[in-house]
Chains A and B, each alone.
Chain A
Amino acid sequence: MRGMQTMGSRNWFKKSRKAPSEDMALQITSMADIFTILLVFLLKSYAEGVVTISPSQGVTLPNAKGGDEMVQALRVEISPLAVQLEGVPVLTLKDFKLDAKQAKGNGVKELEKAFDMQRRRQNEIAKSNKDVKIEGKILVLADQKTPYTTLKTVLTAAALHGYTDFKLIVVKQE
């Protein structure tokens, strides 16, 4: 009797003790929840920027607390090596500075020619499309270490061709 009881308890023990499962079930439902939340957040930040501005490599924009909303306008970028107008290099610089030859010679003339071309292009577009208005706005993406003399040269050339509404692009400081 005792032996039969022992046999029964051994069988019960074997039945209740299951072999551990080697396969781990992946909780895909939780992963889908996380991915959905991440996607909603990224889409929200993606949709907020109407105009996207990406400064060139090596250009560090200055910080400022104040600031207005981004607008669409002609873009001039000042980096340590060049001045670019709408992404096209128009003037070469050496560590933000113009050469003495460039300052007095053709360098500034090249810059003025580029602004003149942009102004003419805008006038032509305005002639053919009444919805387009001739504006004097210009977006300035200058590196924070740009000396005032270089900035002044570029902005003076812009102002001579009707671009007097300077919009300085800054990184908003929280």
Chain B
Amino acid sequence: MSTISDSNAGLDFELNLAPIIDCLTVLITFTMISASFLSISVFDAGMAGPIDKADKTPPPPVNLSLELRSGGQFDIVVTGKENTTVKVAAINGERDYVGLAEHLKKLKAKWPTVQGVSVEADENVEYQFIVKAMDSARPSFPEVVLGGM
């Protein structure tokens, strides 16, 4: 008459958590060592490729060139149907990225079909300033390329 209680006793068992904790500790240690907490992304800055003869897209009305000067100034050189240079002066020795973005926005409103701008800099201008300038130009002109090559 003890068969029912015997079968119930066979179904119950105590889970030994110690080896599971060991496995979890090793896995967590491994993933923490190999995990990268830096969010890295890619900024497309390719050179313009060769002109495809089959491409029937009309050339842009103006060519834009963004030049970073050593003193902190930006020069936006417009060539083509309009030839002009827009200067964005530095503020307290710091580059004015907000002013640059505003000027580029105005140019985009004037020339909506223009999609690209090439970025150049003086010899000693640091790479971080070039990237920031490209980042400021991207909302208005998505095709930002590195020029002067």
Contacting pair A148 B31 (CB below 8 A): no
Contacting pair B47 A172 (CB below 8 A): no
Contacting pair A156 B149 (CB below 8 A): yes
A66/B43 contact (C-beta < 8 A), A148-B124, A159-B149 known:
yes
Contacting pair A35 B25 (CB below 8 A): yes
> Which of A28, A64, A139 has the most chain B CB atoms closer than 10 A to its own CB?
A64
Chain B residues with CB under 8 Å of A155's CB are 146, 149
- Cβ of B98 < 8 Å from any Cβ of A? no
Top 4 A-B residue pairs of the complex, sorted by shortest distance between their CB atoms: A67-B41, A144-B128, A42-B31, A35-B24
- Cβ of B36 < 8 Å from any Cβ of A? yes
Contact of A42 among B32, B45, B127, B130 (CB under 8 A): B32
Contacting pair A148 B20 (CB below 8 A): no
Chain B residues with CB under 8 Å of A61's CB are 40
Chain B residues with CB under 8 Å of A143's CB are 127
Contacting pair B39 A171 (CB below 8 A): yes
Chain A residues with CB under 8 Å of B68's CB are 148
Bound Cα distance A32, B36 (Å): 24
A167/B44 contact (C-beta < 8 A), A28-B17, A35-B24, A46-B31 known:
yes
- Cβ of B138 < 8 Å from any Cβ of A? yes
Interface size for A (C-beta < 8 A) is 52
Contacting pair B135 A65 (CB below 8 A): yes
A148/B17 contact (C-beta < 8 A), A64-B43, A70-B40, A170-B41 known:
no
Contacting pair B46 A69 (CB below 8 A): no
- Cβ of B125 < 8 Å from any Cβ of A? yes
Contacting pair B35 A45 (CB below 8 A): yes
Interface size for B (C-beta < 8 A) is 44
Contact indicator per residue, chain A 136-165, by CB within 8 Å of chain B (1) or not (0): 100100111111110110011001000011
Contacting pair B146 A42 (CB below 8 A): no
> Which of A11-19, A48-56, A116-124 contacts its partner?
A48-56
- Cβ of B93 < 8 Å from any Cβ of A? no
Contacting pair A147 B36 (CB below 8 A): no
Chain A residues with CB under 8 Å of B138's CB are 66
Contact indicator per residue, chain B 112-124, by CB within 8 Å of chain A (1) or not (0): 0000000011111
Contact of B42 among A54, A71, A147, A159 (CB under 8 A): A71
Contacting pair B36 A52 (CB below 8 A): yes
Bound Cα distance A122, B37 (Å): 32
Contacting pair A165 B127 (CB below 8 A): no
- Cβ of A134 < 8 Å from any Cβ of B? no
A39/B43 contact (C-beta < 8 A), A144-B126, A148-B122 known:
no
Bound Cα distance A23, B46 (Å): 67
Contacting pair B20 A32 (CB below 8 A): yes
Chain A residues with CB under 8 Å of B31's CB are 39, 42-43, 46
- Cβ of B34 < 8 Å from any Cβ of A? yes
Contact of B41 among A35, A39, A68 (CB under 8 A): A68
In the assembled complex, the CB of A14 is this many whole angstroms from the nearest CB of chain B, namely 34
